[in-house]
Amino acid sequence: MNYAMMLFNKKLKPSRSDAGLGFKTHVFYNVSASSIKSTVIKFSMFEEKIHSFSKIKKNVTMLDVKGFGFEKGPDGLTFNLKIRDHLKQEFETQTKLDISKND
């Protein structure tokens, strides 16, 4: 895998299924010469007793694969051009400058 980025840091309102010390969701993706692959993984951390009769707890990390995808066709150049255009648009929106002009 080439890249990973964090989507969410902490849960705002823990639900019953996700209660614990918190979770992080990451997207792992690989842009190769002929395809794009990505996987969304949720890392959860919670406390668990070492034994059922013990008072000592340990932190446990659990991985949950939320989804994955594959698309053949778009390549690295196409991906780079889309990212470039997106960043250009965001920059121009924030600064009101047209950076495509050569002044």
Tens of each residue's pLDDT in the chain, 103 residues: 444 444 444 444 444 444 456 788 888 888 888 888 899 999 888 888 888 888 888 888 888 999 999 988 777 888 888 889 999 999 999 998 888 877 6
Q: What is the pLDDT of residue 56?
A: 86
Residue 8: enclosing H or E segment and its boundaries?
A: strand 3-8
User: pTM of the predicted model, to two decimals?
Assistant: 0.53
**Where are the domains positioned within the chain?**
3-72, 75-103
CA angle 50, 52, 53 (to 5 degrees): 100
Residue 21's pLDDT is: 61
Instruction: Please answer whether residues 53 and 45 qualify as being in contact, where contact means their C-beta atoms are separated by less than 8 angstroms.
Output: no
